[in-house]
Amino acid sequence: METPRSTTIALLTLLSVTIFAHAGDMNGMNMKDTPMSGQRANQMNEKVHHGIGTVQKVDASGRITIAHGPINSIPWPAMTMNFAVQDKKLLNQVVAGEKVEFDLVQVSQDQYAVSRITPVK
């Protein structure tokens, strides 16, 4: 009968072999064509997504919480989210409870930042 320690060692060995086998498959791969590198990353950052929502909280550290409607270009349903802002001065333009229009730009794989925000008149 195997002991828990020998089972753990066997699993770790199998995992190591699997990782090295997959790493070997990457030889010759052009990393410039991967989704998050070079030109593709720049194109991602250039896409601007527009939203409308209500400011829930303004945080002087450079974040804002917005309850927004659907943003179809991402695609996101209506929800409340906390975002970083590209320029903290944007936070001086709005207060909690105010309806706003805003733009988002993607700054990493799953992160978006507010690049523009204005009160809705």
CATH number of the domain enclosing 51: 2.40.50.320
CB under 8 A, 24+ apart: contacts of 5-14: none
Assess whether 61 and 106 both reside in one domain.
yes
Assess whether 112 and 56 both reside in one domain.
yes
Assess whether 113 and 88 both reside in one domain.
yes
Q: Which residue has the higher pLDDT, 13 or 74?
A: 74
What dihedral angle (degrees, nearest 10) is formed by the CA atoms of 35, 36, 42, 47? 70
What residues contact residue 101 under an 8 Å CB cut-off, 6+ apart? Answer: 50, 51, 52, 117, 118, 120
Confirm if 55 and 94 have CB atoms less than 8 A apart.
yes
Assess whether 58 and 102 both reside in one domain.
yes
Interatomic CA distance for residues 78 and 87, integer angstroms? 24
Tell me the pTM: 0.63
pLDDT in tens, 39-74: 334 444 479 999 999 999 999 899 999 999 999 999
Please state the domain count of the chain: 2
Beta pairing partners, 59? 63
Assess whether 75 and 112 both reside in one domain.
yes
Assess whether 83 and 24 both reside in one domain.
no
Assess whether 11 and 64 both reside in one domain.
no
Assess whether 16 and 52 both reside in one domain.
no
Assess whether 107 and 59 both reside in one domain.
yes
- Its domain, for residue 89, covers 47-119
Least reliable range by pLDDT among 36-40, 55-59, 87-91:
36-40
Interatomic CA distance for residues 74 and 72, integer angstroms? 6
Confirm if 63 and 81 have CB atoms less than 8 A apart.
no
The answer to whether position 36 is within a domain reads no
Confirm if 55 and 95 have CB atoms less than 8 A apart.
yes
3-state secondary structure of 75: coil
